[in-house]
Amino acid sequence: MKYLATREADINGEKRLIQGIYVVLVRGGQRRVHRRGTGSACGGMARDLFHTGVLQRWASVSCLSACLPGQEDATFERMKKFIAASGA
């Protein structure tokens, strides 16, 4: 999931807009959770528990970065590479 935020900041005495990009990757068991919504990860784990009797492990990996307007796509691509390199 990707969230964007914008705020005005004072940089060296000049007011500038700053974009914030927050990325969250939720992993449950051996699969990534792609669907939006708060119940998707828990729903998949509950379904696996019901069918197999095994409670899957899960984790969330998040990353936050700031950039100037217009640099969101390039920043997001760097964040995706960073998260992939972390083994998530």
- The domain tally of the chain equals 1
Q: What is the pLDDT of residue 7?
A: 93
Write the CA distances from 58 to 16, 22, 29, 69, 71, integer angstroms: 39, 20, 6, 34, 32
Q: What is the pLDDT of residue 5?
A: 93
For residue 18, the model assigns a pLDDT of: 92
Q: Which residues of the chain have pLDDT under 70?
A: 28-43, 88
Q: Report yes or no on whether pTM surpasses 0.75.
A: no
- Residue range(s) defining the domain that contains residue 52: 2-85
**The Cα angle at residue 26 between residues 86 and 77, in degrees rounded to 5:** 50
